[in-house]
């Protein structure tokens, strides 16, 4: 069945995972600073919208969405245009813009891109509710949350992180969404997450690493349920035309 797979459209990657991620699953994208996590997640959504007619939702819990739009233009992703076409929505839960509906004027003075802001104080249920609400409106099939590391800092306050991530995972799965959760980590092999639980919740774990000495970045598929794959790291590049896995 063709629809069993959710292709990323990332050059050189889908061939490593039998054509794409299993549908309606949660994929954990883990890596240290500067490894390309946000670019990977954005391209997953952008390709979905522009190549496969699958609208997506980006939940920004760290960076200002306006800055993300500007940065991604340099990699060939015109997020503002995709938003204008109704194929992408950005939910802003970042520290920089929380409680504010950020407006960004497009090149055309006729229209504006409206970021959907979460309340100043919000819970995990608010994220889930808003994502599912918007998914129904635009018929979204993909979601990226950047990053769940911020959930612990912004929301949890000592609550059970595993339970919260599980609730988010199952709720989005029930809504027929393929979800990518970004996790910021210290770049070493002994641990994937700070809490040590998210990787067991996820259906797939993708590790990104940067080697400054060799000036390279690598991607490794640690786990992907229902998919035969190699554990070998592959070099990838961030280019003006998107990500290329060698």
CATH code of the domain covering residue 111: 3.40.50.300
What is the tally of structural domains in the chain? Answer: 1
The answer to whether the bond into 155 is cis (omega within 30° of 0) is no
- Give the range of the structural domain holding residue 83, as residue numbers without chain letter: 2-245
For residue 234 the two structure tokens come to 């592959």
- pLDDT given at position 190: 42
- pLDDT given at position 125: 83
195: Cβ contacts below 8 Å, ≥ 6 apart: 152, 161, 162
Identify the CA nearest to 49 among candidates 26, 74, 16, 72.
72
For residue 79 the two structure tokens come to 């997020």
CA dist., res. 142 & res. 54, Å (int) = 7
Q: Where are the alpha helices (DSSP H) in the chain?
A: 37-51, 65-73, 79-84, 124-138, 149-151, 161-174, 198-201
Tell me which residue has tokens 């994220």. 127
Phi, psi of 102 (to 5 degrees): -70, 135
- pLDDT given at position 196: 55
DSSP-assigned letters across all residues of 192-215 = S-SSS-HHHHSSEEEEEEEETTTT
CA distance to 116, 138, 181, per residue, from 217 (Å): 33, 34, 20
Phi, psi of 47 (to 5 degrees): -65, -35
For residue 45 the two structure tokens come to 């959504």
CA dist., res. 220 & res. 179, Å (int) = 18
Average pLDDT for runs of 10 along the chain of length 246: 83 97 95 94 98 97 92 93 96 66 37 72 84 97 89 57 80 96 70 56 92 92 94 95 94
Task: Tell me if 127 sits within 8 A of 41, measured CB to CB.
Answer: no
């Amino acid at each position: 069945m063709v629809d069993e797979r959710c292709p990323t459209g990332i050059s050189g990657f889908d061939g490593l995972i039998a054509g794409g991620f299993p549908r309606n699953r949660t994929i954990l994208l883990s890596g240290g600073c500067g490894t390309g996590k946000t670019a990977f997640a954005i391209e997953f959504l952008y390709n979905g919208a522009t190549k496969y007619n699958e609208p997506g939702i980006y939940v920004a819990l760290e960076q200002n969405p306006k800055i993300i739009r500007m940065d991604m233009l340099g990699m060939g992703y015109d997020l503002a245009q995709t938003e204008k076409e109704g194929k992408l929505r950005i939910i802003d839960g970042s520290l920089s813009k929380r409680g504010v509906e950020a407006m960004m004027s497009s090149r055309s003075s006729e229209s504006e891109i409206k970021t959907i802001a979460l309340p100043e104080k919000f819970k995990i249920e608010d994220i889930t509710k808003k994502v599912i609400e918007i998914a129904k409106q635009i018929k979204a099939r993909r979601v990226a949350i950047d990053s769940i590391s911020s959930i612990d800092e912004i929301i949890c306050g000592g609550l059970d992180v595993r339970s919260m991530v599980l609730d988010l995972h199952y709720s989005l799965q029930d809504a027929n969404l393929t979800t990518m959760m970004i996790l910021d980590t210290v770049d070493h092999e002994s641990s994937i997450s700070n809490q040590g639980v998210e990787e067991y919740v996820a259906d797939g774990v993708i590790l990104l690493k940067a080697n400054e000495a060799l000036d390279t970045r690598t991607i490794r598929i640690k786990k992907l349920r229902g998919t035969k794959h190699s554990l070998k790291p592959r070099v990838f590049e961030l280019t003006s035309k998107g990500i290329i896995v060698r």
